């Protein structure tokens, strides 16, 4: 099979590389000259474990190509995926669909009869039908089918999520009807390797597929926010949030994942998708009050974490040196979008703290987002050097193995704010630290 992937960003690049791993011929279209040059040179512009190897292998095999010529990529393709950005629109929380609709117009001009046009980007309910309308308006004679195939990729484990997913959701214009059979056949053929390993492949209508993506992310964001509130309660009543989470997670109706407390969720999905869902729901006259509250609590929590650090430092951080371990919104990625580190570090710097920071992958991306006075270090112990307070903001595995005595030797003070609960409280206290974590009395 041959497909085109419009957009060489996170979703397009990972999806294109993994489809190529299935044996599909994939042409990725990227119009940003710098990003395209990097991809053609074999340089991956994002950090995602395993992605570089899978891109290299499939590029060498001739199954994966990168270019800027949309017409050449679409020629002969049985499916064309739209995987462009859908950032939050300023002012109203809706997803900005400018790039999606422009891609639809360009595809309409060059696609061949029988093609399946697929939205892979996260898009609001109704976008698939609007894309179909745009294509038919631009080229009434074109015979095509429309599909929605939302991605469920977690940054840091996206390759595994694509190659061994929990499920695949595919929306078509008229499920089970003759006009959608072509789309169903093409999509089944594309995902046949997953069918062979008994992955659930669920066919729905376009609107259902689009809403499923938002509903899933919003529910996970709500789950994260719930355990964060339980962590706060645990601190007040002397309970241990990890034991609470385990007790909850063993209930199969709840599940164990996304029950780890921290300074609040961030990244490219949860913040954007929760805001978009509340905007969609408000327009439909069915407000999602749980999600609205989740958004508000999460934003408040990030600022509350900065206040917690100030309180640990005695109520004033002016002139203090604060070491920060981890900047990205989660480990195993270089993504800084809506990371908790941004408001926390800004608040501490605004109160006069000297910030020394280290992140294994995200420092280049962090620099434009953080105050100019932040000092970036070559390692964790260098970030801790001479610090009065040490703060953990991202749970990179390499931080877990830091010996408490080495930290004590490097630091000037003995105060640690572990906002990811990566260290054992008893070991840290035995090493002489005033140690504060989340949800553990």
313 and 424 co-located in one domain: yes
Check if the beta carbon of residue 1 is closer than 8 Å to that of residue 190.
yes
175 and 29 co-located in one domain: yes
Residue with tokens 């999600």: 291
Whole-number pLDDT of residue 293: 98
Residue closest to 340 by CA, chosen among 419, 392, 260, 266: 266
Report yes or no on 179 lying in a domain: yes
26 and 76 co-located in one domain: yes
140 and 223 co-located in one domain: no
Check if the beta carbon of residue 404 is closer than 8 Å to that of residue 380.
no
143 and 7 co-located in one domain: yes
Report yes or no on 209 lying in a domain: no
Inter-helix orientation angle 206-237/289-312, to 10°: 40
421 and 329 co-located in one domain: yes
Last residue of a domain, one of 296, 313, 338: 296
List the CATH number of the domain containing 135: 3.40.50.720
Report yes or no on 43 lying in a domain: yes
261 annotated to a ligand binding site = yes
282 and 321 co-located in one domain: no
Report yes or no on 283 lying in a domain: yes
35 annotated to a ligand binding site = yes
Report yes or no on 47 lying in a domain: yes
Check if the beta carbon of residue 213 is closer than 8 Å to that of residue 122.
yes
Domain that holds residue 268: 215-296
Cα–chain center distance at 245: 23
Q: Indicate which residues carry an active-site annotation.
A: 269
- Label residue 179 left, alpha or beta by phi (over 0 means left) and psi (-120 to 50 means alpha): alpha
441 residues of the chain, pLDDT tens digit each: 999 999 999 999 999 999 999 999 999 999 999 999 999 998 998 999 999 999 999 999 999 999 999 999 999 999 999 999 988 887 777 889 999 999 999 999 999 999 999 999 999 999 999 999 999 999 999 999 999 999 999 999 999 999 999 999 999 998 878 778 999 999 999 999 999 999 999 999 999 999 999 999 999 999 999 999 999 999 999 999 999 999 999 999 999 999 999 999 999 889 999 999 999 999 999 999 999 999 999 999 999 999 999 999 999 999 999 999 999 999 999 999 999 999 999 999 999 999 999 999 999 999 999 999 999 999 999 999 999 999 999 999 999 999 999 999 999 999 999 999 999 999 999 999 999 999 997
266 annotated to a ligand binding site = yes
The total number of structural domains that make up the chain? 3
152 annotated to a ligand binding site = yes
Q: pTM of this prediction?
A: 0.92
Check if the beta carbon of residue 153 is closer than 8 Å to that of residue 14.
yes
Q: What is the pLDDT of residues 124-141, one digit of tens each?
A: 999 999 999 999 999 999
Report yes or no on 133 lying in a domain: yes
Report yes or no on 361 lying in a domain: yes
List the CATH number of the domain containing 267: 1.10.1040.10
262 annotated to a ligand binding site = yes
Report yes or no on 208 lying in a domain: no
């Amino acid at each position: 099979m041959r497909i085109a992937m419009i957009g060489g960003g996170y979703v397009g690049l990972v999806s294109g590389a993994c489809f190529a791993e299935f044996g599909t011929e994939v042409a990725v279209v990227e119009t940003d000259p710098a990003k395209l040059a990097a991809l053609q040179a074999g340089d991956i512009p994002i950090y995602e474990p395993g992605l570089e190897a899978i891109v290299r292998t499939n590029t060498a095999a001739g199954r994966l190509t990168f270019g800027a010529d949309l017409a050449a990529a679409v020629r002969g393709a049985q499916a064309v995926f739209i995987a462009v950005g859908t950032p939050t629109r300023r002012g109203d929380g809706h997803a900005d669909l400018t790039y999606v609709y422009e891609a639809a117009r360009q595809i309409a001009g060059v696609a061949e009869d029988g093609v399946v046009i697929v939205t892979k980007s996260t898009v609001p309910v109704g976008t698939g039908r609007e894309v179909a309308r745009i294509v038919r308006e631009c080229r009434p004679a074109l015979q095509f089918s429309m599909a929605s195939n939302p991605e469920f990729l977690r940054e840091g484990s996206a390759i595994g999520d694509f190659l061994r997913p929990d499920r695949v959701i595919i929306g078509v214009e008229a499920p089970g009807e003759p006009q959608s059979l072509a789309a169903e056949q093409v999509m089944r053929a594309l995902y046949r390797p997953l069918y062979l390993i008994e992955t659930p492949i669920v066919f729905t209508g376009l609107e259902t597929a689009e809403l499923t993506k938002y509903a899933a992310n919003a529910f996970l964001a709500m789950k994260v926010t719930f355990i964060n509130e339980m962590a706060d309660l645990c601190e007040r009543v002397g309970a241990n949030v990890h034991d609470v989470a385990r007790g909850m997670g063993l209930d199969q109706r709840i599940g164990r994942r996304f029950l780890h407390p921290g300074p609040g969720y961030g990244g490219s999905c949860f913040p954007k998708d929760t805001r978009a869902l509340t905007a969609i729901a408000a327009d439909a006259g069915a407000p999602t009050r749980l999600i609205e509250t989740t958004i508000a609590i999460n934003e408040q929590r990030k600022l509350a974490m900065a206040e917690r650090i100030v309180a640990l430092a005695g109520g004033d951080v002016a002139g203090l040196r604060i070491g920060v371990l981890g900047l990205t919104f989660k480990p195993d990625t270089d993504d800084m979008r809506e990371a908790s580190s941004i408001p926390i570090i800004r608040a501490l710097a605004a109160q006069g703290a000297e910030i020394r920071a280290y992140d294994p992958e995200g420092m280049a991306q962090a620099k434009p987002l953080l105050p100019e006075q932040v000092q970036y270090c070559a390692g964790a112990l260098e970030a801790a050097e001479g610090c009065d307070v040490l703060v953990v903001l991202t749970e990179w595995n390499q931080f877990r193995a830091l010996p408490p005595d080495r930290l004590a030797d490097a630091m000037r003070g003995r105060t640690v704010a572990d906002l990811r609960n990566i260290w054992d409280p008893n070991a840290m206290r035995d090493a002489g630290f005033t140690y504060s974590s989340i949800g553990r009395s």
